[in-house]
Amino acid sequence: MRRLVLPVLAGLALAGCGDRQDTGSHPVLTIPTSAISEVQVVPKLSPQGKDVLEQAKRSGVKTVVLTVATERDKTDQVAAGLRRLGGTVEATDTTIGYVRVSVPVDLAEQVTAIEGISRVDVDEPLSNIDPTP
């Protein structure tokens, strides 16, 4: 969130939305509260993913598989961070910024704090429905 606030404030200052006050040696920029709006931050783990994790915890599942989308050129860094957290990296694709990792269910929400991750999804098992009519 801090990464988003500074560019917004800088943009407001450059657009002339702020008032300059000369306090001597250091000018101070004040931004009217009417110019500040709530910045929407997209969560890295969807509400559905959180529900699946809670269900897995209640069911006594020990590990979950996550699919992780990474920022550009951060796939290897993210994979290393996932290993340090205790995850087992099953697959990576640096061309599309993808990591598939198995982690202890208790650590799954901590994955979102690793720098370079843009999105985390819980890989849910598919049911084996017989397609025969």
Q: In the prediction, which pLDDT does 43 show?
A: 74
On average, the pLDDT of the chain sits at: 77
Write the burial class of residue 97 (CB in 10 Å: 0-12 exposed, 13-18 middle, 19+ buried): buried
Task: Please state the domain extents for the chain.
Answer: 2-35, 47-122
Q: In the prediction, which pLDDT does 79 show?
A: 96
Max alpha carbon distance in the chain (Å)? 82
**What are the tokens at 117?**
């991750």
Of residues 130 and 117, the one with the higher pLDDT is 117
Q: What is the pLDDT of residues 26-42, one digit of tens each?
A: 666 565 555 555 544 55
Are 121 and 49 in contact by the 8 Å Cβ rule? The answer is yes
Q: What is the pLDDT of residues 65-77, one digit of tens each?
A: 999 999 999 999 9
Question: pTM of the prediction?
Answer: 0.62
Report the CATH fold assignment for 47-122: Alpha-Beta Plaits (3.30.70)
